[in-house]
């Protein structure tokens, strides 16, 4: 697939995700209006939709149907959106800017932000568990539990807890990797798995895709750390340099920028190696891997 | 069933719920330890487990299997526990006492309380979606979405948002009812439905049980309002009189205590009427209804 075909594919899937989220989120006119308005504010009209793109790319490789993929894509994006709303709150990272707009607790208030995150998480599970979404209901239950495990205390929320505990600490590269494999990696990895689960792939292919998902999960965070250190706030759409300001360990503070970039290159090569057996069918996943890296340098 | 047999049944089901929650919640020794420790603190060793008792009572009427009921009971209690942790936070009700102990954000910190609530909600969906829990996977997906609808922005979280918006307002009895049907009622109603879904009941019986669930959901809140106004903090295990202190409308402030008590009696009678067709099989649900009322007067 040429770069231009890939760009078209990305835009189409981003639009499909946006349209599906718009349909799934209750309208701002439905009571309680302020909550629904804030849920839409937190979710719509922003973000690169990397996780949904991974769901679609893995799902299309697995010949999954469009409706199941759309729901799975929305579910991971709703989990991601909820985590951003809560992470930005004053008692966590206390951030005022996200996707180029004031964060939810700034635009609304802290109590609303708390409820927005709560309700977005609930909606994610409602969307992925919709009866009849997949022909095989037992497989769909596996998808629901996969999303729950990736999001909970031994996945994303757990990574956030490790992150909190590491503020101001000197931690090892291994500890940093454990944190990121949970905080960012778990949901990215789950996105790839969910896409594949929506379709039909043999167990060894599912395992290769999972290794790919784990590698790009870490890759995504290494690139994020480099961006946070090097890009400006306008480019990022969120406050740049905030990890350093918050005294948080990152790959850049731990390894230095040149070594962090070398690590990113290494992880990209590793990710691609897990796709080798799929040949051309993994073209979009390969290009998404490049996209994750090239948004920075 | 005699009062003593009912008391024994209640104690047994409360113990079964406690044991199942203890098993389901990750151990305090598992990383991230502080988060897991706080999740256990928030959930174990307290509460009357009214929602799990409703799951069991409705489920046993529907001849449901014990394992599915145990998971459904834990799922509703985990949702309830998450909502308490978040509701007590400084940006919401700012309360320091719950179930006779310091609230989670007081015992740990605000950021941990936020993550505890988040992770308890996730765990609820993981528990109810466990593959193979019910023989009929499609029916189990219905159970997952039922729990999600009852908990989200058009259920419990929505009720909390209405509650926030009503502070310091004069609202009508109808508006108060709408708030409580969501805030407390939705999860109580879902508990009855979930118990029934775990077993097998014909559609008209399910509908009668749902009407029963709706009536006791409201009944529970009316009694709660009376308790909040009349009982002391030690009896409640949470701060008494806090609704009045927070300038929140309640059935007592709106109708006065005598009229609120009359309403409770009326709702109890209505709840019982929906059980009439079940005869003796609904004995436990009838006794639970009395238990909900008699904890106050």
A44: its two tokens: 């719509």
Residue B98's DSSP bridge partners are: B101
- ipTM computed for the complex: 0.95
∠ CA B269-B273-B279, rounded to 5°: 125
> Which residue among B89, B92, B152 places its CB closest to the CB of A119?
B152
pLDDT of residue A297: 43
Any B CB within 8 A of A191 CB: no
pLDDT of residue B236: 65
Residue A102's DSSP bridge partners are: A97
Give the pLDDT band of residue A236 (cuts 50, 70, 90). low
Tell me if A162 and B32 make a contact (CB, 8 A cut-off).
Answer: yes
Where do the DSSP E strands lie in chain B?
A: 97-98, 101-102
Task: Please state the φ and ψ torsions of residue B233, each to the nearest 5 degrees.
Answer: -60, -40
pLDDT for B119-133, tens place per residue?
999 999 999 999 999
CA gyration radius, chain A: 18
B95: left (phi over 0), alpha (psi -120 to 50) or beta: beta
∠ CA A121-B158-A100, rounded to 5°: 55
DSSP symbol at B189: H
Tell me if B149 and A126 make a contact (CB, 8 A cut-off).
Answer: yes
pLDDT for A188-218, tens place per residue?
999 999 999 999 999 999 999 999 999 999 9
Distance CA A134, CA A137 (A): 6
pLDDT for A265-282, tens place per residue?
999 999 999 999 999 999
B101: its two tokens: 């102990």
Tell me if B138 and A141 make a contact (CB, 8 A cut-off).
Answer: no
Give the gap in angstroms from C-alpha A95 to the nearest C-alpha of chain B: 14
Distance CA B147, CA B155 (A): 10
Q: Which residue has the higher pLDDT, A232 or A73?
A: A73
Supply the angle between the helices B156-166 and B186-198 in degrees, to the nearest 10. 170
Contact present, B126 and A149 (Cβ < 8 Å)? yes
Task: Please state the φ and ψ torsions of residue B139, each to the nearest 5 degrees.
Answer: -65, -40
- For residue B22, what are the contacts with CB-CB under 8 A and spacing of at least 6? B40, B44
pLDDT of residue A99: 87
Question: In terms of residues, how long is chain B?
Answer: 297
Mean residue pLDDT across chain B: 93
Tell me if B138 and A142 make a contact (CB, 8 A cut-off).
Answer: no
pLDDT for B17-68, tens place per residue?
999 999 999 999 999 999 999 999 999 998 899 999 999 999 999 999 999 9
Q: Which residues of A touch B123 (CB under 8 A)?
A: 148, 152-153
In terms of Cβ atoms closer than 10 Å to its own Cβ (0-12, 13-18, 19+), residue B243 is buried
Distance CA B64, CA B68 (A): 7
Contact present, A117 and A157 (Cβ < 8 Å)? no
Distance CA B183, CA B220 (A): 11
A202: left (phi over 0), alpha (psi -120 to 50) or beta: beta
pLDDT for B222-260, tens place per residue?
999 999 888 776 666 767 667 767 778 889 999 999 999
∠ CA B103-B105-B111, rounded to 5°: 155
Q: Most distant CA pair in chain A: distance in Å?
A: 52
Place of tokens 């798995």: A193
Give the gap in angstroms from C-alpha B227 to the nearest C-alpha of chain A: 26
pLDDT of residue B297: 43
Chain A residue closest to B115 (CA)?
A: A157
Question: In terms of residues, how long is chain A?
Answer: 297
Distance CA B185, CA B177 (A): 10
Contact present, B188 and B54 (Cβ < 8 Å)? yes
∠ CA A53-A55-A56, rounded to 5°: 65
Q: What percent of chain A has pLDDT over 90?
A: 84
Supply the angle between the helices A137-151 and B110-128 in degrees, to the nearest 10. 170
Query: What mean pLDDT comes out for the span B253-275?
Result: 95
Taken in order of first residue, the domains within chain B and their CATH numbers are 3-294 (1.10.600.10)
From the list A16, A15, A293, A12, the residue with the least C-alpha distance to A4 is A12
Enumerate the H helices of B44-170 as residue ranges: 50-61, 66-87, 104-107, 110-128, 137-151, 156-166
A217: its two tokens: 């999960």
């Amino acid at each position: 697939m040429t770069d231009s075909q890939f760009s078209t594919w990305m835009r189409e899937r981003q639009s499909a995700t946006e349209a599906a989220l718009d349909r799934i989120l209750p309208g701002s006119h439905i009571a309680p209006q302020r909550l629904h308005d804030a849920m839409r504010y937190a979710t719509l009209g922003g973000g690169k939709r990397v996780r949904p793109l991974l769901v679609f790319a893995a799902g299309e490789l697995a010949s999954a149907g469009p409706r199941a993929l759309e729901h799975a894509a929305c579910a991971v994006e709703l989990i991601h959106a909820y985590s951003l709303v809560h992470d930005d709150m004053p008692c966590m990272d206390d951030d005022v800017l996200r996707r180029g707009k004031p964060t939810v607790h700034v635009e609304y208030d802290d109590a609303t932000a708390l409820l927005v995150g709560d309700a977005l998480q609930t909606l994610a599970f409602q969307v992925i568990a919709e009866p009849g979404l997949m022909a095989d209901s037992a497989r769909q239950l596996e998808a629901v539990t996969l999303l729950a495990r990736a999001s909970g205390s031994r996945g994303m929320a757990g990574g956030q807890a490790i992150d909190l505990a590491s503020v101001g600490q000197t931690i090892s590269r291994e500890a940093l990797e454990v944190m990121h494999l949970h905080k960012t990696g778990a949901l990215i990895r789950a996105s790839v798995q969910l896409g594949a689960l929506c379709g039909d792939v043999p167990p060894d292919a599912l395992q290769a895709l999972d290794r790919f998902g784990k590698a790009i999960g870490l890759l995504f965070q290494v690139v994020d750390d480099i961006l946070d250190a090097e890009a400006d706030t306008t480019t990022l759409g969120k406050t740049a340099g905030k990890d350093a300001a918050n005294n948080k360990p990152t790959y850049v503070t731990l390894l230095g920028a040149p070594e962090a970039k070398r690590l990113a290159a290494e992880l990209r090569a590793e990710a691609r190696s897990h796709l080798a057996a799929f040949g051309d069918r993994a073209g979009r996943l390969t290009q998404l891997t490049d996209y994750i890296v090239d948004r920075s340098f």
